[in-house]
Chains A and B, each alone.
Chain A
Amino acid sequence: MKSSSNDSVEVLKEIAEAKSETLEMIYRNCYLPVQRLVINNSGTYADAEDIFQDTVTIVFRRARHDELQLFSDTNICTLLYAIARKLWLQKLTYLKREIAVGQEIEGVFEMPQAIENEIAGLESMKQRICQKHFLQMTEKCRLLMKLFMKGLKMKEIAEIMDFETEDQAKTTKYRCKKDLANRILNDKEYKALL
């Protein structure tokens, strides 16, 4: 695992580019400690997967904002673990789940303020829940919503996705959006944030 300053910056740049090999490498090297942390502290395997995704997404966002200097001195696995730990602790607090005494919920390293804000900000928390539910939608809905986010007009979306009419695309988008909104609004964690 890369660990020098330059190497860390290089890995972070590749995360910002969502380079598949790098994402796979960090999954292989950094995921299991995070899984252990979650499992040992009232979580499930699914929780561990969600937390790791949230963690990488936070690093991805900061790296795309050219804030690589925030992490240049830190080994990537240590950084991911520290962020995951904060996220999980916060989630446990919101869900009022038990934190196993004497286990790994202890300080790791000084977290940059930008990351702290990213983790604890109410809107960021809601955004993470929204993204989690997005992944659970059908492939068709995900594609349609992504094209919409890219700023494509309904007419263009209809053409790309082989809808017969623009209205058909609009109706499908409405159904997909309603499905997503219902999933989010019924999420236990989201409810706790309201």
Chain B
Amino acid sequence: MEDLFEKVNRYVEGKMEPAEKLDFETKCQHDPKTAAALKLWTDLDELDETDEAELRLREQLKDIHQQLYSKKSADRSRFFFKKSYWIAAASIAALLILVISISILSLRDKPTGNEELFALYFKPEQLMQISRSAGQPFAAAVRLFQQADYAAAAASFSQLLKQDTANYRLMLYSGLAETAAGNYEDAITAYQDILKADANLYSGYARWFLALVHLRTGQTDTAIEELGYIAHTKGHPFNKEATELSAILKRRK
């Protein structure tokens, strides 16, 4: 049976008998799909250099996306498809089984409650740094945090936020200080404010620390949900940690 576009092409190229042509034109008036096919067919012939440049751009973007977000999985599949690596893979698997068994045995005596897990993963020190452009009050607040005076640091960041309400870095630092001080409700608010705002560079961190606070406050299911999201976000700064923690929580459940 003739394809719709074969018919359209014959019409466009003037290869139809008069009766068939009339019939086709009538169909175009009553059938939106045929009319759309005809328009599409002619539009595709009108694509020019501008379209070509945009298509080239899209090809470039597609390549970048694959490079940045599919590289790891591609490397992994290449590795596994090479026959010579199977023996190495089998040895690694055996070794892993041994390591996991030992870990499970040793974990039996270790605390794996939410509090302990939170303490294990909550590491804000690397993030809490004074940038060269930071003002005096900001630097002072960071120093308070570094001196482990978390309550004072939280109060200072909160003060600074009143003057600079859309500063996401400040919001994150405020959240971290509140978390460290044990003011979890305020910390949740700070992280959620970052996530509710428009695109910003701190949302990845906010989601991770929000998950940790949920964990710490016993909202394990919510924490697992957040961690699942992070674990599935390629390129997320805490992708590895979230996968790990989420697996521990699920296993414990």
User: Which residues of A does B touch, CB under 8 Å?
Assistant: 1, 18, 20, 23-24, 27-37, 39, 45, 49, 52-53, 56-57, 60-61, 64, 77-78, 80-82, 104, 106, 108-109, 126-127, 130-132, 134-135, 142, 145-146, 148-151, 174, 177-178, 180-182, 184-185, 194
Determine how close the nearest CB of chain A comes to the CB of B82; give it in whole angstroms: 25
Determine how close the nearest CB of chain B comes to the CB of A150; give it in whole angstroms: 6
Decide: A174 near B54, CB < 8 A? Known: A81-B199, A151-B48, A185-B33: no
B-side interface mostly: helix
Contacts beyond the supplied A33-B203, A185-B36: 8 A-B pairs with Cβ under 8 Å: A31-B235, A56-B61, A78-B198, A81-B198, A106-B198, A130-B44, A131-B54, A150-B52
Q: Which of B204-244 contact A (CB under 8 A)?
A: 204, 229, 233-236
Determine how close the nearest CB of chain B comes to the CB of A4; give it in whole angstroms: 13
Does B61 contact A53, Cβ atoms closer than 8 Å? Answer: yes
Does A27 contact B49, Cβ atoms closer than 8 Å? Answer: no
Considering the chains assembled together, what is the distance between the CA atoms of A57 and B62 in angstroms?
12
Does A180 contact B54, Cβ atoms closer than 8 Å? Answer: no
Chain A residues with CB under 8 Å of B5's CB are: 178, 181-182
The reply to whether the CB of B47 lies closer than 8 angstroms to some CB of chain A is: yes
Does A181 contact B56, Cβ atoms closer than 8 Å? Answer: no
Among candidates B40, B41, B55, residue contacting A131 with C-beta atoms closer than 8 Å = B55
User: Which residues of B does A touch, CB under 8 Å?
Assistant: 3-6, 9, 32-33, 36-37, 40-41, 43-45, 47-49, 51-62, 64-65, 67-68, 195-196, 198-201, 203-204, 229, 233-236
**Residue among B9, B55, B233 with the highest chain A CB neighbour number at 10 A:** B55
Decide: A32 near B233, CB < 8 A? Known: A104-B196, A150-B52, A181-B44: yes
**Residue among A52, A77, A104, A181 with the highest chain B CB neighbour number at 10 A:** A181
Does A57 contact B49, Cβ atoms closer than 8 Å? Answer: no
Chain A residues with CB under 8 Å of B204's CB are: 32
Among candidates A49, A126, A178, A184, residue contacting B3 with C-beta atoms closer than 8 Å = A178
Considering the chains assembled together, what is the distance between the CA atoms of A149 and B53 in angstroms?
9
Chain A residues with CB under 8 Å of B9's CB are: 174, 178
Chain B residues with CB under 8 Å of A18's CB are: 53, 56-57, 60
Chain A residues with CB under 8 Å of B235's CB are: 31-32
Chain A residues with CB under 8 Å of B48's CB are: 149, 151
